[in-house]
Amino acid sequence: MKQPLVLVLAAVVLLPLVVRHAIATEIWIFAIFGLGLNLLLGYTGLLSFGQATFFGSAAYVAGYLLKYYGIGIFTALGVGIGVGALSALVVGYLCVQRAGLYFIMLTFALNQLFYFIAYQWTSVTGGEDGMPGIPRPALLGIDFRQPLAYYVLVSALFLLSLWAMQRIVESPLGKILQAIRENEVRAEALGYNVPRFKLLAFVIGGAFSGFAGVLYAMLFGIVPLEAIGFVFSGNVVFATLIGGSGSLYGPIIGSLVFIWLSESVSVLWARWPLLLGVAFVIVVLFFRGGVVEAWSRIWRFSKRAS
């Protein structure tokens, strides 16, 4: 087995011993969300600032069905994947035709469209109060309302997602996406339909986001309005970048650091976004390349010192 995978498995086992089960669960959910973004950001070179659109839409739809129609866990997750992929298809269709800065701005603007729909459609989404009362249905006699049981389920699904993403990026499709990232014109010249492949990456990323969104709704028993807001879209970009978007494991390290920090600091101070903003600025100005690079720089430095 490869070394990074061993570390991830160790983290999955050890994390619930160190932090509260809810935070440990949230970390792996956010990591799934990050895996989906990183297919776009790291592998295809598409900076999407609207991933919360798919996360939130899936959470609302599956949450609604869980609450009022009593569907099972796996049906809800399937619905989440479907809604995430479908909303990504719609958003992606409009965005992939434009490149660069236009692309980024469009993903954000369409995120705002979904946000304002959720904000105003209070009879369904609950608007600013969110959609509370989302159950965690039992499965095969296992009561997932037990925090540890739910943690085990989520971490298993996270490992499954990691495996699936690894298969995707190592497949011919993954190689084509990386070719598009490296040189779009050349990929086009080789006969690949670049917009079509970008859209496909978008849909897959959306499916991962939707999957994570449903797990998130079941974790907290509520779909907060923030789940579809732009701050969430920004957080997942930030988490992926601090982990390092260059590798498959970047978003995993990123969400570990990000969720851990944000859950510890946000309970201490209500103006936590201020610190987050300062952190963004400092990281960008001084620690570009993320945790992985900062770590290797420190390691090299200490090796030279000894």
Tell me whether residue 17 or residue 285 sits nearer to another protein (CB atom). Answer: 285
Q: Does 109 bind another protein (CB under 8 A)?
A: yes
Residue 62 beta carbon to another protein: minimum distance, rounded to whole angstroms: 22
Tell which one of 108, 192, 220, 260 touches another protein (CB under 8 A).
108
Q: Which of residues 57-96 bind another protein (CB under 8 A)?
A: 94
Cα–Cα distance between 211 and 205 in angstroms, integer? 10
Nearest CA to 215 among 62, 71, 91, 82? 62
Site string for another protein, 10-49 (x = CB under 8 A): -------------------------------x-----x-x
Residue 296 beta carbon to another protein: minimum distance, rounded to whole angstroms: 18
Residue 85 beta carbon to another protein: minimum distance, rounded to whole angstroms: 18
Tell me whether residue 101 or residue 305 sits nearer to another protein (CB atom). Answer: 101
Query: Which range touches another protein (CB under 8 A), out of 105-113, 136-144, 180-188, 197-205?
Result: 105-113
Query: Which range touches another protein (CB under 8 A), out of 14-22, 108-116, 256-264, 292-300?
Result: 108-116
Q: Does 159 bind another protein (CB under 8 A)?
A: no
Cα–Cα distance between 163 and 166 in angstroms, integer? 5
Q: If you search the block for the tokens 């399937």, which residue do you land on?
A: 78
Cα–Cα distance between 4 and 9 in angstroms, integer? 9
Nearest CA to 46 among 12, 88, 6, 79? 88
Tell which one of 89, 164, 279, 294 touches another protein (CB under 8 A).
279
Q: Does 105 bind another protein (CB under 8 A)?
A: yes
Q: Does 237 bind another protein (CB under 8 A)?
A: yes
How far, CA to CA in Å, does 229 sit from each of 13, 123, 249? 32, 19, 25
Tell which one of 1, 17, 285, 305 touches another protein (CB under 8 A).
285
In our burial notation (b when 16+ CB lie closer than 10 A, e otherwise), range 55-74 reads bbbbbbbbbbbbbeeebebe
Residue 303 beta carbon to another protein: minimum distance, rounded to whole angstroms: 27
Residue 11 beta carbon to another protein: minimum distance, rounded to whole angstroms: 25
Query: Which range touches another protein (CB under 8 A), out of 161-169, 203-211, 277-285, 291-299?
Result: 277-285
Q: Which residues bind another protein (CB under 8 A)?
A: 41, 47, 49, 94, 97-98, 100-102, 104-106, 108-110, 112-113, 116-117, 120-121, 230, 234, 237-238, 241, 245, 271, 273-274, 276-281, 283-285, 288
